[in-house]
Structure 1
Amino acid sequence: MTAVAQIVRDALSILRVVDAREAPEAEDEQDGIRALNLMMRAWEADGLNLGWSDVSNPADELPIPPENEEAITYNLAKRLQSRYGVSMSVIDLDIANQGLASISAQVTSADYSRIEYPDLPTGQGQRVGNWRDGFNC
């Protein structure tokens, strides 16, 4: 699992606020963690349920599937850009948007809820009851 500090550092390096090889200042790290928690809570409220639980320490492990780390990093950078008065490149914005769309698709495809329409009439040739009805066992 990836540490929260690495996600925040990567997001800040995408914005070119910090060098990729150096750690951000403690205040920037805490601002990044707060923005990460706010973003993930908003995503959870919008139905992008990744199982997020708030993090508070830079050494905490990121509580999400590893395949979503890139999307979260780029979208965190997207959230932080106005705080630092910088703009992301078009390519980085595209990566952020594609990542969010990918997460949305993953969550949607994992939703196995079955839709039933009990108020519609049963058509001819459709079975009512168990599929085993009519078979001699």
Structure 2
Amino acid sequence: MTVSRAPSSPVRVITAVMMLAAVYLFGIDGAAVFHLQRNLPLPSNSTSIEQLTARDRARHGRILRGSTAVHGVVSFPVYGSADANIFGLYYTTINLGSPPREFKVVIDTGSDVLWVMSNTCVNCPRSSNLIQPTFYDATASSTAWGL
């Protein structure tokens, strides 16, 4: 049995050389280590991690005191799906404004910030296949004020 090889094209040769160079430069596993160094000193009024942690605990305490939390646990209805074939999205509803209007907000376990789209937003999506967006209109609320 004879094996014939197709002639190597210049693109294949260049690609092979580039791959070998990448393996040589970055290691076989493709991992690289970058060392970061601060060029400027930290400001003298910087806050320590302990102070930030204490502030965060105090803020969470204030939030929980003003809520209907039982033993430090906030309870609210959660909607959505964890089905990876659909789209893992969890959301809940909140009321904003006077008179109150209901808004759906995404629950992000990596953040304590909830975003509501404003009707003045230029680049906000106007429709979604997941949740129909509701836009906050500050002129329709008697308790809204500008920042």
Compute the TM-score of the two structures, normalised by the length of structure 1.
0.21
Give the number of the structure whose residues are more often strand, by fraction: 2
**Larger CA Rg, structure 1 vs 2:** 2
Give the number of the structure whose residues are more often helix, by fraction: 1
